[in-house]
Structure formats: structure tokens, C-alpha cells
């Protein structure tokens, strides 16, 4: 198992359930649902868009998708 993935997983545990801006979410907002350190991925859930131009994608709220842990760590920290 990659040592970096373990570190990302440990740091992300405190962020579970908190919203974050995510450019790969259809509404540009998501929250962390779970972390899969062995695979180096996170499960994210789409949240409603706070932006007027993206409200057309709000019908996708609640959908879940996998994302690399490194990218999610970056979204929360930068």
C-alpha cells in the first residue's frame, strides 16, 4: 500500500461530512462520505449548487462518485 495514500486517508477522516468545492462535481459542491485507503479513493456526494449558473444540475444532488484521495485532500486544503 502506498504510504502517501495512508497519510491522505488519516488527514481526511476529520473532513467526513463537510462540504467542499469540487470541480469534478456536476454542481461544483460535494461532501466526503467515506475513504478507501487501500484503493486511494474517496466516495463523494453531490450537494446543491450555491452558484446561479450551475443550479440546472441540482437534479443530480445525492449522487455519489469516486475520486482520488489526493485530489480530495487538495480540495480541502487549498
Sign of CA dihedral 20, 45, 70, 73: positive
Along the 78 residues of the chain, how does pLDDT read in single tens digits?
555 556 778 889 999 999 999 999 999 999 999 999 888 899 999 999 998 888 899 999 999 999 999 999 999 998
Question: Which residue from 76, 62, 69 is spatially nearest to 4, judged by alpha carbons?
Answer: 69
3-state secondary structure at position 53 = helix
What is the structure's pLDDT at 2? 57
| Helical (H) or strand (E) element with 8 | helix 3-12
* Other beta carbons less than 10 A from residue 17's beta carbon: 9
What is the structure's pLDDT at 18? 97
Work out the end-to-end distance of the chain between its first and last CA atoms, rounded to an integer number of angstroms: 25
Amino acid at each position: 500500500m502506498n504510504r502517501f495514500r495512508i497519510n491522505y486517508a488519516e488527514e481526511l477522516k476529520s473532513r467526513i461530512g463537510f462540504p467542499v468545492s469540487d470541480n469534478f462535481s456536476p454542481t461544483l459542491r460535494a461532501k466526503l462520505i467515506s475513504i478507501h485507503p487501500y484503493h486511494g479513493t474517496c466516495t463523494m456526494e453531490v450537494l446543491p449548487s450555491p452558484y446561479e449558473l450551475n443550479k440546472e444540475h441540482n437534479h443530480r444532488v445525492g449522487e455519489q462518485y469516486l475520486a482520488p484521495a489526493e485530489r480530495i485532500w487538495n480540495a480541502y486544503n487549498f
